[in-house]
């Protein structure tokens, strides 16, 4: 199921985004540091040592900022930490700008980079606070160099004396203030639009999560609790890979002491599979009700009591015809039917392309594929994929399955044995070993044990396919 998008999720997403920006900034700073180091080695620039020192401090602050981000628990924490880092960034940047030529050339552009950083993380008001601090620091540097309080340091263009021209200095500082303010305005508008877009996506995500949660709650009502059938111990579980599942199981009363167990798997998973699943379950129940309504199970007229084979064959035909005519498309359903009769404790099965079954034999303590003479037939809605010559005459042929007291029938879908850990699948062999180990226990414990075994195998990784598991144990 899709979880609700909480404030914690928003904080985590923001932290991850800021960490990406921080990594890019760190790589850029490291590149500058290496460049200045090369200039110092080959050209022996007199100010290179101070610049290397400033960039080193900046890199250290960048690393500490990344550590602090991982500890932030709210958006307010992120904003406070970011503001503190940006203030330190401006101080270090002013130190570096001083040794890069002060106000005599394009040093102000570096402040624009800090303003851009601020717009990515801070609210609009705090962005302008950063701009104000940048202008004050740049203006203070210009005034200090003009007054001689701080000696001017040349970098690429030695010999310039523009720092001694008051008019030039004033125009440079005012131009810097205007440029930085305009950059803050543009960046804040862009980031505001991005935040509005993110908020719209968050609202849409939350709405989808709510709708899918409602869909899941409706689907859960389709998946009934196992009925209390004399002589049987039954347990079942359905684990969707997406918000809703295309796998299903059902327990349907057939009448006259007979009960139908169905396990099915709609091709794919998600919303479309869940809708097909619901249609199939309703079609099966309505078909059996129609069958009962015709008086077919009148105990006083035993001659009208259909055989198990007739019940399963008719059910398969009617459901297949209904789904093919009403849904069709590119989907199909594999299904396994098992009809249990309380009178003679017999089990008759029908395999519609779904042979995912194991039998625990209590006498030997082994889990083996059930031994039946039955054939696998086309899945429901699969007749549309084969030619009419191949489809005609392929009537479903149910076959009996012998189960002794203490034996257990395990029915499942492919998502269980195809659960992966890397490239390795859980597999039928591992499932047989688990069933053999748990087979003597009650049905509910067998289900819980199998699910725990699969989760342990996958390491709790993301589920790739729907999983349905039904265990039927014949009481001794």
Q: What is the pLDDT of residues 24-46, one digit of tens each?
A: 989 998 998 998 888 888 877 66
d(CA 396, CA 375): 8
Q: Is residue 216, in this structure, part of any structural domain at all?
A: no
Answer yes or no: is 465 within a domain: yes
Query: Is residue 166 located within the same domain as residue 265?
Result: no
Question: Which two tokens mark 46?
Answer: 């007199």
Whether 296 and 199 map to the same domain: the answer is no
357 and 327 co-located in one domain: yes
Same domain? For 166 and 288 the reply is: no
Tell me the CATH number at 243.
Answer: 3.60.40.10
Sheet holding 247-255, edge to edge: 247-255, 258-266, 333-341, 346-352, 399-401
Phi, psi for residue 155 in degrees, rounded to 5: -125, -85
Residue 163 lies in a domain: yes
**Do 198 and 234 share a domain, yes or no?**
no
DSSP 3-state assignment of 421?
strand
| Cβ proximity of 353 and 379 under 8 Å | yes
Q: Residues 124, 148: one domain?
A: yes
Q: Could you tell me if residue 347 is inside a domain?
A: yes
Q: In which residue are the tokens 């890069």 written?
A: 100
With a CB cutoff of 8 Å and minimum separation 6, the contacts of 434 are 449, 450, 453
Domain end point (choices 165, 181, 210)? 210
Q: Provide the domain count of the chain.
A: 2
Is 2 contained in some domain?
Answer: no
**In this model, does residue 129 exceed pLDDT 80?**
yes
- pLDDT of residue 295 exceeding 50: no
Question: 454-469 pLDDT, tens per residue?
Answer: 999 988 777 888 889 9
Give the bridge partners for 474, in sequence order.
232
**How far, in Å, CA of 60 to CA of 26, rounded?**
9
Is there a domain that residue 235 lies in? yes
Q: What is the pLDDT of residues 65-82, one digit of tens each?
A: 999 999 998 988 999 999
Q: What is the pLDDT of residues 328-371, one digit of tens each?
A: 767 888 999 999 998 888 889 988 888 899 999 988 888 888 76
Residue where a domain stops, chosen among 163, 188, 210: 210
pTM (2 d.p.): 0.62
Q: Is the dihedral of CA 272, 290, 339, 229 positive or negative?
A: positive
The CB-side HSE value for 150 (13 A sphere, CA atoms) comes to 19
pLDDT at position 260, please?
Answer: 92
218 in Cβ contact with 299 (< 8 Å):
no
Where a domain ends, among 184, 210, 236?
Answer: 210
Residue 165 within any structural domain of the chain? yes
Both 234 and 381 in one domain: the answer is: yes
**Res 473 pLDDT > 60:** yes
pLDDT digits (tens, 9 = 90+) for 82-113: 999 999 989 988 888 877 766 655 566 778 88
Residue 192 lies in a domain: yes
Residue 332's region, left for phi above 0, alpha for psi from -120 to 50, else beta, is beta
Are 264 and 410 part of one and the same domain? Answer: yes
Question: Are 326 and 455 found together in one domain?
Answer: yes
235 and 205 in a common domain? no
Q: What is the pLDDT of residue 5?
A: 55
The pLDDT value recorded for residue 443 is: 93
Write out the residue range of the structural domain in which residue 177 sits: 7-210
Same domain, 186 and 317: no
Same domain for 398 and 292? yes
């Amino acid at each position: 199921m899709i979880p609700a998008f909480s404030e914690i999720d928003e904080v985590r997403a923001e932290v991850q985004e800021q960490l990406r920006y921080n990594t890019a900034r760190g790589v850029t700073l490291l590149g500058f540091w290496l460049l200045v180091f090369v200039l110092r080695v080959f050209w022996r620039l007199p100010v290179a040592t101070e610049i290397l020192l400033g960039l080193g401090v900046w890199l250290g602050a960048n690393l500490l900022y990344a550590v602090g981000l991982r500890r932030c628990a709210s958006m307010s924490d992120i904003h406070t930490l970011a503001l503190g880092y940006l203030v330190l960034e401006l101080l270090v940047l002013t130190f570096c700008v001083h040794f890069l030529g002060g106000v005599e050339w394009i040093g102000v552009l570096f402040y624009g980079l800090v303003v851009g950083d601020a717009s990515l993380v801070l609210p609009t008001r705090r962005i302008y606070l950063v701009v104000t601090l940048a202008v004050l620091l740049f203006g203070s540097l210009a005034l200090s160099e003009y007054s001689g309080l701080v000696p001017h340091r040349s970098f690429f263009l030695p010999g310039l004396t523009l720092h001694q021209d008051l008019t030039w200095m004033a125009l440079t500082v005012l131009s810097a203030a205007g440029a930085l303010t305009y950059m803050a305005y543009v960046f804040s508008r862009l980031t505001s639009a991005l935040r509005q877009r993110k908020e719209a996506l968050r609202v849409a995500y939350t709405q989808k999560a709510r709708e899918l949660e409602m869909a899941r709650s409706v689907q859960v009502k389709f998946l009934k609790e196992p009925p209390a059938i004399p002589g049987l111990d039954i347990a079942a579980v359905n684990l969707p890979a997406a918000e809703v599942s295309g796998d299903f199981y059902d327990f349907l009363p057939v009448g006259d002491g007979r009960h139908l167990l169905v396990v099915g798997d709609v091709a794919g998973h998600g919303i479309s599979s869940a809708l097909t699943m619901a249609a199939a379950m309703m079609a099966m129940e309505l078909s059996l009700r129609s069958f009962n309504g015709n008086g077919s199970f009148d105990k006083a007229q035993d001659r009208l009591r259909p055989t198990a084979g007739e019940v399963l064959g008719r059910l398969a035909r009617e459901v297949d015809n209904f789904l093919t005519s009403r849904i069709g498309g590119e989907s199909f359903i594999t299904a396994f039917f098992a009809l249990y009769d309380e009178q003679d404790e017999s089990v008759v099965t029908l395999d519609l392309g779904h042979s995912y079954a194991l039998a625990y034999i209590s006498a030997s303590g082994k889990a083996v594929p059930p031994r039946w003479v039955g054939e696998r037939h086309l899945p429901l809605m699969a007749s549309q994929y084969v030619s009419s010559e191949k489809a005609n005459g392929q009537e479903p042929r149910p076959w009996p399955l012998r189960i002794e007291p203490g034996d257990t029938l395990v029915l499942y879908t492919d998502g269980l044995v195809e659960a992966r850990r890397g490239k390795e699948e859980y597999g039928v062999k591992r499932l047989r070993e688990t069933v053999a180990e748990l087979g003597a226990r009650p049905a509910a414990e067998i289900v819980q044990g199998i699910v725990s075994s699969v989760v342990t195998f996958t390491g709790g990784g993301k589920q790739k396919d729907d999983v349905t598991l039904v265990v039927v144990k014949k009481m001794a």
